[in-house]
């Protein structure tokens, strides 16, 4: 029997049937039927192999860093280790979706082992991430990297715009405590947060306690060996990890041609297609093909090692509804960073617009 964790991440049968009566020329069932059945079956041993591989590489990199113990090697170490922190996060991400295994206890165990060392409260993140997947592409209810409206953009204070649009690659830790603009403030550590249901109280408390113990452990290391030790061996890689997380999640859903929906014009399958596949070059395998994102959003409990097969199977059906960017990651980020700032206040389907267009409109009205 599948766990509750998996069931929470699957659109209901009624929702799936509604997709079949939509304007899309295909249904969720048609897409699922095109994919080999084995793609939906997680292998605990294969999933565990990715976890232990990441842990082994992280341990080896620490060994190399201790061996050289030199400032000239640290930037290389930070870049490599931060990337591996990000890869470990993706393993925990699979646990959160129930695509790591069909065993809830194993998903929760590995999820905490993967996320706690990198200061991610596993259950708090899992639940808010579930909200994102259940509402992708919905301006009013999505949880991650959704656009702000024109009115909200105009009313944002300078420091809010700075955080949201200028230093966006460093804001994930703040998001854990504060959430994103235009949503009721909620902490991923507080079981009373609007992010969570009352029944999820003890899950949130468990992850918060483990997160606090990790903070305590880092504090003990700092007390024993000093701030420089913490910077060299943890904070450096952690910042790189945060940049990876913010960069990839931003690029998943931020392009000027990706539609955003309101009210009855949104439903699960339509929203799930409001994402884009991207290639990160040789990093693809390192971070477990997280850039293969369209299939992931349609079938939330599919293991990452089957996503490429599933994508090739559904591309002929999706046709023009399938989005993939062949631009370099740097070019794609710069384009979206410059052009994606807000959406119009009204409209059933809206697209990102840039602040420069807003300035031009204001100038024309003067």
Q: pLDDT, tens digit, for every residue of 99-109? A: 999 999 999 99
pTM (2 decimals)? 0.91
Q: What letter does residue 278 receive in the DSSP assignment?
A: E
pLDDT recorded at residue 47: 98
- Per-residue pLDDT at 183: 82
More confident residue, 145 or 210: 210
Does the pLDDT of residue 181 top 80, yes or no?
Answer: no
| pLDDT for 11 | 43
pLDDT tens digits, 7-26: 333 444 433 444 433 489 99
Distance (Å, whole) CA 101 – CA 129? 18
Q: Is the pLDDT of residue 4 over 70?
A: no
Q: Rg (Cα) of the chain, in Å, rounded?
A: 21
Average pLDDT of span 227-232: 97
Averaged over 286-306, what is the pLDDT? 96
Q: How far is 305 from 99, CA to CA, in rounded Å?
A: 10
Which pLDDT does position 365 carry in this prediction? 65
Parallel/antiparallel/unpaired status of strands 349-350 and 260-261: antiparallel
Predicted local confidence at residue 327, as pLDDT:
95
The gap between the terminal CA atoms of the chain, to the nearest Å, is 65
Chain segment 212-221, per-residue pLDDT in tens: 999 999 999 9
The H-assigned helical ranges of 69-165 are 74-97, 104-115, 122-134, 150-155, 158-161
pLDDT at 44 over 60: yes
pLDDT tens track for 122-178: 999 999 999 999 999 999 999 989 999 999 999 999 999 999 999 999 999 999 998
**How does pLDDT run across 192-208, given as a tens digit for each residue?**
999 999 999 999 999 99
- Mean of the per-residue pLDDT values of the chain: 91
Any idea which residue has 């605990």 for tokens? 44
Q: Which band of pLDDT confidence, cut at 50, 70 and 90, is reported for residue 363?
A: low
pLDDT score, position 362: 67
For residue 212, how far is the Cα from the chain centroid? Answer: 22
Quote the strand ranges of the chain, DSSP E: 260-261, 277-278, 324-325, 349-350
| pLDDT of amino acid 21 | 37
pLDDT digits (tens, 9 = 90+) for 313-346: 999 999 999 999 999 999 999 999 999 999 999 9
291, 280 Cβ separation under 8 angstroms: yes
Instruction: Find all residues with CB under 8 Å of 244, minimum gap 6, and list them.
Output: 82, 83, 85, 86, 287
Judge whether residue 303 has pLDDT over 60: yes
Q: Are 206 and 45 in contact (CB under 8 A)?
A: no
Q: In this predicted model, what pLDDT tens digit does every residue of 46-68 receive, in sequence order?
A: 999 999 999 999 999 999 999 99
Average pLDDT over residues 249-254: 96
Q: Are 336 and 168 in contact (CB under 8 A)?
A: no
Q: CA–CA separation, 30 vs 247, rounded Å?
A: 32
Q: Which one has a higher pLDDT value, 181 or 161?
A: 161
Among residues 292, 325, 326, 288, the alpha carbon closest in space to that of 310 is found at: 292
């Amino acid at each position: 029997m599948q766990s509750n964790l998996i069931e929470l991440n699957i659109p209901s049968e009624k929702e799936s049937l509604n997709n079949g009566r939509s304007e899309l020329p295909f249904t969720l069932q048609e897409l699922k039927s095109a994919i080999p059945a084995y793609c939906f079956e997680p292998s605990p041993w294969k999933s565990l192999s990715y976890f232990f591989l990441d842990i082994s590489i992280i341990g080896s990199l620490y060994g190399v860093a201790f061996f050289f113990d030199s400032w000239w090697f640290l930037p290389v170490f930070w870049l490599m280790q931060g990337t591996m922190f990000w890869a470990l996060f993706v393993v925990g991400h699979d646990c959160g979706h129930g695509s790591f295994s069909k065993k809830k206890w194993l998903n929760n165990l590995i999820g905490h082992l993967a996320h706690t060392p990198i200061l991610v409260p596993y259950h708090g993140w899992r639940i808010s991430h579930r909200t994102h997947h259940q509402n992708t592409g919905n301006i009013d209810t999505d949880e991650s990297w959704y656009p702000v409206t024109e009115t909200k953009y105009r009313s944002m204070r300078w420091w809010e715009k700075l955080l949201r649009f200028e230093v966006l690659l460093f804001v994930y830790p703040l998001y854990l405590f504060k959430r994103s603009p235009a949503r009721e403030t909620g902490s991923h550590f507080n079981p009373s947060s609007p992010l969570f249901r009352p029944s999820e109280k003890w899950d949130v408390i468990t992850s918060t306690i483990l997160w606090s113990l990790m903070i305590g452990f880092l504090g003990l290391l700092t007390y024993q060996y000093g701030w420089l030790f913490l910077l060299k061996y943890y904070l450096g890689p952690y910042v790189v990890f945060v940049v990876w997380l913010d960069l990839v999640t931003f690029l998943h859903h931020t392009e000027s041609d990706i539609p955003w929906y309101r009210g009855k014009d949104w439903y699960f399958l339509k929203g799930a297609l409001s994402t884009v596949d991207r290639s990160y070059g040789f990093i693809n395998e390192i971070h477990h093909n997280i850039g293969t994102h369209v299939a992931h959003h349609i079938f939330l409990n599919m293991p990452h090692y089957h996503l490429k097969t599933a994508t090739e199977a559904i591309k002929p059906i999706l046709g023009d509804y399938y989005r993939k960017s062949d631009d370099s990651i740097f070019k794609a980020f710069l384009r979206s960073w410059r052009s994606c700032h807000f959406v119009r206040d009204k409209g059933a389907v809206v697209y990102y617009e840039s602040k420069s267009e807003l300035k031009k409109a204001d100038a024309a009205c003067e």
